[in-house]
A and B are shown apart, each in its own frame.
Chain A
Amino acid sequence: MWLLTLYRSTVGKKAIMAVTGLLLVVFVIGHMAGNLQVFVGAARMNGYAAFLKSTGELLWVVRLGLLAAVLLHILMALQLTRIKAAARPVDYQKRQPQVSTVASRTMRWGGVLLLVFIVFHLLHFTTGTIFPWASAPDALHPEFSHTDVYGNVMSAFHTPWVVLFYVVAMLFLLLHLFHGAWSSVRTLGLTTPSRQPMKRHVATVVALVVWLGFTAVPVAVFFGVIR
């Protein structure tokens, strides 16, 4: 009943987007921190990967939870975008945005790009279906390995377009988080009144740290900082 009230209202739909979004923020922070172990060495990285796999059912609970969060997030975005389109059938001949950030204005299309990235990334590192580095001259091993995560990472980021795609996708993640990590908390009404409500310190730090941590790995591998 409560969820139905939420589902039927634009405020409720935004609340669902905010909650699922915040769950995903927590996930990307954890994922980014986990990734950084690649700088420690192969044993540490593969040990961490083995530990995650050893959690068994729990891993699947998390995976299905994340899938549900992503699907709900997308469903709400689609519905709200439709409502937005219907809310202004005749647009202005001239409109001059005043204070809205680039981040806020790229949430929809940036989100679509992030979805494409997530699908690619899962096929790239989880299933190993896409394997664009087989021909790379200094690949550690020519095939995807389900146990040698470190080797996969080292091999993966020698193809320029793959690295570029990751770097660009992470820029959009930076923008998505810069707006989303801030607005989701406001949407849920968890903020106290502020003199400068558009200021966002925590979201800025979260967005920058996640962006740096994620971007560091493909860039470091590409330029041979870690090998």
Chain B
Amino acid sequence: MNMKLRVWRQSSPDAKGALKEYAATDVSPDMSFLEMLDELNERLMEQGEVAIAFDHDCREGICGSCGVMINGVAHGPMKGTATCQLHMRSFKDGDTIVIEPWRAAAFPVVKDLVVNRGAFDRIIQAGGYVSVATGAAKDANSIPVPKEDSDAAMDAAACIGCGACVAACPNGSASLFTAAKVSHLGLLPQGQPERYRRALKMVAQMDLESFGGCTLFGECMEACPKEISIDFISRMNRDFLVGAATAPMERGGGED
């Protein structure tokens, strides 16, 4: 297959970028999207051009590194799939494919298709943990967890932090990411002591990172390679509102 690519090229964070046209020739339908870019880069380097920078790591859909906007859709046309697991059979011969980096104030472009998702790390740092003494592992069954809760927690924990939710959101909101991280801990017994404080802190950090607000467009859920539900956003909001209402009472607790 032969395709026309229009790829965002930007040499540095402060440089002015633009879409540049490339021809992807002899593309096999069995290639992954990233392999197609690899081949193009090989050719660009042979011609003495600078290769297209894109983020990638595991190439098996679990690390969350590889997200790009493909024809205006985060991670491309395949539902529940990260860019690395998208294959060229999802496109037709002669297609034009527009490839852009995630766009958000909180995700500054580093180079070409690579963005800095450090804002997500700071949201996690703000409260995405449980403060418990570690040490020798206890018997896994010593803390009973209802099946529904463990299932829901696992659904939330499937988040790989790729940023597609932000990229797809017309508001540039990180609500689905933050909600997944708030919920997978808040659903489990170990996460209960800090549950409401966690929601308050992580939402506060999310706002500090200048993400937008959630208006429930639903685009995030559709873009998410792990198909995480917007139900978790409702849950995060509930925890946040309960936390906001009870925070003054908790203040004497000596935390912080």
Residues of A bordering B, CB below 8 Å: 1-2, 5-6, 8-15, 80, 83-84, 86-101, 104-105, 107, 179, 182-183, 186-191, 193-194, 197-198
Q: Determine whether the beta carbon of B72 is less than 8 Å from that of A95.
A: yes
**CA of A1 to CA of B233, assembled, Å:** 24
Contact partner of B236 (CB less than 8 A), chosen from A11, A95, A105, is A11
Q: Determine whether the beta carbon of B244 is less than 8 Å from that of A88.
A: no
Q: Determine whether the beta carbon of B213 is less than 8 Å from that of A186.
A: no
Q: CB-defined interface of B170-207 with A at 8 Å, one 1/0 digit per residue?
A: 11110100000000000000000000000010011011
Binds A, one of B56-64, B84-92, B96-104: B96-104
Q: Determine whether the beta carbon of B215 is less than 8 Å from that of A107.
A: yes
Q: In the complex, what residues of B have CB within 8 A of residue A197's CB?
A: 218, 221, 229-231
Give the interface centre of A6, A11, A86, A182 by most chain B CB atoms within 10 Å. A11
Contact partner of A189 (CB less than 8 A), chosen from B103, B216, B237, is B237
Number of residues in B with C-beta < 8 Å to the partner? Answer: 54
Q: Determine whether the beta carbon of A5 is less than 8 Å from that of B244.
A: yes
State whether A2 and B244 are in contact (beta carbons under 8 Å apart), knowing that A93-B100, A100-B218, A191-B231 are contacts in the complex: yes
Residue of B nearest to A13 (CB): B213
Q: Determine whether the beta carbon of A9 is less than 8 Å from that of B230.
A: no
* Minimum CB–CB distance for A93 against chain B, Å: 6
Q: Determine whether the beta carbon of A98 is less than 8 Å from that of B73.
A: yes
Residues of B bordering A, CB below 8 Å: 6, 8, 19, 69, 71-73, 98, 100, 103-106, 152, 168, 170-173, 175, 200, 203-204, 206-207, 210-219, 221-223, 229-231, 233-241, 244-245, 247-248
* Minimum CB–CB distance for B205 against chain A, Å: 11
Q: Determine whether the beta carbon of A186 is less than 8 Å from that of B233.
A: yes
* Minimum CB–CB distance for B209 against chain A, Å: 9
Contact partner of A87 (CB less than 8 A), chosen from B72, B171, B248, is B171
**CA of A83 to CA of B171, assembled, Å:** 8
Q: In the complex, what residues of A have CB within 8 A of residue B236's CB?
A: 11, 189
